[in-house]
C-alpha cells in the first residue's frame, strides 16, 4: 500500500531535552531523527521525512525563524505531504500556534506538539504526543482546520489554545471553548465544525515592534508614556477585567492611539473583553472612544502576534475585521 507522506520538524523544547550529566539541568540535544526513532509505529502509518530545524528552548524562538519554518512547511505540502508536524518547546506554543494559524494557507493540517517531561524522564510524554500529533496530521478530518496543538491526547485550535499551567502534565487548555477534538483509541475525533479561516499573506517587513504591557494596581505610566518615543509600531495592553485600565493610563492610551494601533485585551486568562458595558474613565467604552480596539476573545499574546503580522503586511486598518472574527 502506498503510504501517505508526513513531514516532521524538530525545533527543540523539553521534548528534545535531556541532561548531559547526572545532576545537570536538561538542555535541547535530541534531534528530530532521534525523536522519530522513539515512535517506531509511525513508519507503518506514513512515509516520514524528518528534519531538525533547530534545537532551542522555545523562549528563544523568534518571528524571523518561524517564517523560515513556515516556508519549510509550505515546501513539504507542495512536495506532497498530507500533513506537517512540528515539535517545539511548550512555553511559547500558544504564540507559535497563533502565528502559524494566521499564515497557514493549506487544506493540509499543520500540527504542533511538545512535551512537559523531558526525553530522559520516566513517563516522558514526548513520544506519545508525537504519535498523536502525527495521527492528527494524517487524518482526513483534520483538513481545512488550520493549525492544531496536540498535547495529552487533546487537540486544541491554534487561536484558542493557552498554556495554563507551568509544570502540570496536562498544561494546555482552550478557555471557554475547550479542546477542538481528542484522540480516542488512536482515532482523531473533532468536537466542532472547522473554524472560518482567513489566512494572511506573508508580512512584507519584519522589523516592526509591538509592545505588550500589563495593567497592574497602582502602576506607574513611565513605560507606557514612552512607547512612541521608543519607536514601537503597535501596543497591546493586558487590561484589568473586561479590558480596563487606570485613568492615568487612559490618557496615555488616547495619545498613543492617535499614532499607532492599540489593542486592549484582558489579563484574566479567560473570557472576552467587553464593548458596551462600562462607562468610567479607563473602561472599555472610554478606551474605544479614545481610539483603542478591544481584543475580544484573543488573549494578549495572540493579539500581539496578530498585530505584528498585520503591521508587517501594512494591513493594520484590517485589525477591526480580524478582532471581530475571534
Strands 293-294 and 172-173: unpaired
Give me the count of residues in the chain. Answer: 326
Least distance in angstroms from the C-beta of 61 to ligand DAS: 8
DSSP 113: E
The smaller minimum CB distance to ligand DAS, of residues 124 and 242, is found at 124
Least distance in angstroms from the C-beta of 72 to ligand DAS: 19
What distance lies between CA 52 and its chain's CA centroid? 20
Dig out the grid coordinates for 125 from the structure. 510524554
Strands 154-157 and 181-184: antiparallel
Least distance in angstroms from the C-beta of 102 to ligand DAS: 21
The smaller minimum CB distance to ligand DAS, of residues 22 and 59, is found at 59
293: left (phi > 0), else alpha (psi -120 to 50), else beta? beta
The smaller minimum CB distance to ligand DAS, of residues 22 and 167, is found at 167
Q: Give the binding site for ligand DAS (CB under 6 A).
A: 13-14, 57-58, 89-91, 114, 116
Task: Give the span between the Cα atoms of 217 and 172, in whole angstroms.
Answer: 28
The smaller minimum CB distance to ligand DAS, of residues 10 and 292, is found at 10
The residue nearest ligand DAS at its CB is: 89
The smaller minimum CB distance to ligand DAS, of residues 94 and 101, is found at 94
What's the CA angle centered on 58, arms 297 and 155, to 5 degrees? 50
Least distance in angstroms from the C-beta of 124 to ligand DAS: 12
CA-derived radius of gyration, the chain: 20
Task: Give the span between the Cα atoms of 262 and 235, in whole angstroms.
Answer: 5
Least distance in angstroms from the C-beta of 57 to ligand DAS: 4
Amino acid at each position: 500500500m502506498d503510504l501517505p507522506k508526513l513531514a516532521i520538524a524538530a525545533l527543540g523544547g523539553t521534548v528534545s531535552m535531556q541532561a548531559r550529566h547526572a545532576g545537570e539541568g536538561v538542555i535541547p540535544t535530541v534531534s528530530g531523527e532521534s525523536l522519530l526513532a522513539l515512535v517506531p509505529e509511525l513508519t507503518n502509518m506514513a512515509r516520514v521525512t524528518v528534519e531538525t530545524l533547530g534545537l532551542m528552548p522555545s523562549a528563544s524562538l523568534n518571528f524571523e525563524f518561524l517564517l523560515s519554518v513556515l516556508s519549510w512547511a509550505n515546501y513539504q505540502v507542495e512536495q506532497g505531504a498530507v500533513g506537517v508536524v512540528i515539535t517545539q518547546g511548550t512555553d511559547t506554543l500558544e504564540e507559535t500556534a497563533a502565528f502559524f494559524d494566521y499564515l497557514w494557507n493549506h487544506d493540509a493540517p499543520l500540527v504542533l506538539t511538545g512535551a512537559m517531561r523531558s526525553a530522559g524522564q520516566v513517563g516522558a510524554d514526548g513520544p506519545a504526543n508525537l504519535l498523536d500529533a502525527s495521527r492528527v496530521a494524517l487524518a482526513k478530518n483534520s483538513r481545512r482546520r488550520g493549525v492544531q496543538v496536540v498535547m495529552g491526547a487533546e487537540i486544541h485550535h491554534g487561536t484558542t489554545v493557552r498554556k495554563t499551567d507551568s509544570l502540570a502534565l496536562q498544561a494546555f487548555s482552550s478557555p471557554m471553548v475547550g479542546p477542538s477534538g481528542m484522540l480516542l483509541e488512536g482515532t482523531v475525533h473533532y468536537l466542532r465544525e472547522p473554524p472560518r479561516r482567513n489566512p494572511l499573506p506573508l508580512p512584507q517587513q519584519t522589523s516592526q515592534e509591538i509592545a505588550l504591557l500589563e495593567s497592574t494596581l497602582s502602576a506607574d505610566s513611565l513605560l507606557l508614556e514612552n512607547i512612541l518615543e521608543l519607536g514601537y509600531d503597535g501596543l497591546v495592553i493586558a487590561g484589568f477585567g473586561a479590558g480596563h485600565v487606570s485613568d492615568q493610563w487612559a490618557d496615555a492610551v488616547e495619545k498613543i492611539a492617535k499614532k499607532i494601533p492599540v489593542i486592549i485585551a484582558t489579563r484574566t486568562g479567560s473570557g472576552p473583553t467587553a464593548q458596551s458595558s462600562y462607562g468610567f474613565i479607563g473602561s472599555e467604552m472610554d478606551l474605544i472612544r479614545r481610539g483603542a480596539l478591544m481584543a475580544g476573545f484573543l488573549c494578549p499574546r495572540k493579539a500581539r502576534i496578530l498585530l505584528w503580522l498585520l503591521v508587517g503586511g501594512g494591513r493594520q486598518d484590517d485589525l477591526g475585521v480580524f478582532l471581530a472574527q475571534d
